Amino acid sequence: MSTKSWSTIKDEVYGEKGTLRRDGLERDFESFKIGLMLKKAREEKKMTQEQLADLVDKNRAYISRIENNGSNLTLKTLYEIVEKGLGGKVKISIEF
């Protein structure tokens, strides 16, 4: 029995990097990771979703959606949640 790497599986199932389907998967995964990072930071601050939502003038359900899949998160809202709500800093990098 041979073992396949995650990279090989992604190439076989979603196509190689640079293909539309694979790029979509990578973007969705990055959004998911952002949601997990925000949830972890909130929990480390011992805050509820409701408390964070109040600080950034959003509703709890919106915070929950972001933490669960990171979708529909604008940069403006990301900055508000991280800086105003959690007291952190956002650093963004762009690769070519």
Does position 95 have pLDDT exceeding 80, yes or no?
yes
- Is residue 26 within 8 Å of residue 62, measured between CB atoms? no
Rounded average pLDDT over 43-47: 98
pLDDT at 47: 98
pLDDT at 45: 97
Does position 52 have pLDDT exceeding 90, yes or no?
yes
Q: State the Cα torsion 48-50-56-57 to the nearest 10°.
A: 180
Domains and CATH numbers, the chain: 8-85 (1.10.260.40)
Does position 58 have pLDDT exceeding 90, yes or no?
yes
pLDDT at 27: 84
Rounded average pLDDT over 11-32: 86
* CA torsion through residues 55, 66, 8, 95, sign: negative
Does position 56 have pLDDT exceeding 90, yes or no?
yes
